[in-house]
């Protein structure tokens, strides 16, 4: 579930509000958005992927909220890791161009 929104990183672009398929975030005038419907989160990680400044962290736990402190989180190096792994960070190329699925698990096209 979406767990952390790092307010000091957030640039208030509200992209997460726009792109969340289950409408978890709420826009606020002049302020950073808030996670207002955490229970509706389907743990699809799309908000993290779209966040241009790595201000969001989705915990992998789908059924329950698991508290994690911002400080603790920042030491893990996990914030923004999905975006990096997909090649969506600024200056990166999409990793889809290196997708090796054809080499090993889709050999016969299934």
Partner 1 sequence: MEVSFHFLWEFEFKKVKTILNDEKGMDKMAFNHSEKLINQIYDVSFKADVLVIGGGPAGAWAALSAKKNGATVILVDKGYCGTSGATAPSGNGVWYIPPDKEKREEAMRSREALGGFLSERKWMKRVLEQTYESVNQLAEWGYPFPVDENGVVHKRSLQGPEYMRLMRRKLVKSKVKILDHSPALELLYDSNGVAGAAGVNTQTGETWSVQASSIVIASGGCAFLSKALGCNVLTGDGYLLASEAGAEFSGMEFSNAYAITPKFSSITKTAFYQWASFTYEDGTIIEGAGSHKGRSIIAKTLQKGKKVFAQLDKAKDNPELQKWMRIAQPNFFLQFDRMGINPFEDRFEVTLRLEGTVRGTGGIRIIDETCATSVPGLFAAGDATTRELICGGFTGGGSYNAAWAISSGYWSGEAAAKYALSFNRNNLDRTLSRKQVIGINEQRTSHNGLDANEVIRHVQAEVMPFDINLFRTEEKLSSSLQRLHSIWHEAKTSLKENKGNIVRVREAAAMLATSRWMYTAALERKETRGMHKRLDFPKIDENQQHRLITSGLDEIKVTADTHNFQTV
d(CA 52, CA 8): 14
> Of residues 44, 53, 65, 74, which one binds partner 1 by CB under 8 A?
44
29 binds partner 1 (CB under 8 A): yes
Tokens of 41: 């989160």
Q: Mask of contacts with partner 1, 8-27, x by CB under 8 A?
A: ---------xxxxxxx--xx
> Of residues 38, 85, 89, 92, which one binds partner 1 by CB under 8 A?
85
| Paired sense of beta strands 2-5 and 56-58, if any | antiparallel
Tokens of 3: 């767990």
| 3-class secondary-structure state, position 68 | coil
Shortest distance, CB of residue 70 to partner 1, whole angstroms? 15
Shortest distance, CB of residue 53 to partner 1, whole angstroms? 18
Biggest distance spanned by C-alpha atoms of the chain: 53
Shortest distance, CB of residue 58 to partner 1, whole angstroms? 8
């Amino acid at each position: 579930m979406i767990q952390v929104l790092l307010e000091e990183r957030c640039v208030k672009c509200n992209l997460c509000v726009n792109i969340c398929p289950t409408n978890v975030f709420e826009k606020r005038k002049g302020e950073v958005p808030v996670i207002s419907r955490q229970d509706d989160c389907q743990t699809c990680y799309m908000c993290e992927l779209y966040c241009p400044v790595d201000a969001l962290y989705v915990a992998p736990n789908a059924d329950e909220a698991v508290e994690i402190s911002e400080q603790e989180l920042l030491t893990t190096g996990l914030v923004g890791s999905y975006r990096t792994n997909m090649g969506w960070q600024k200056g990166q190329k999409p990793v889809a161009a290196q997708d090796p699925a054809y080499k090993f698990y889709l050999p016969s096209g299934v």
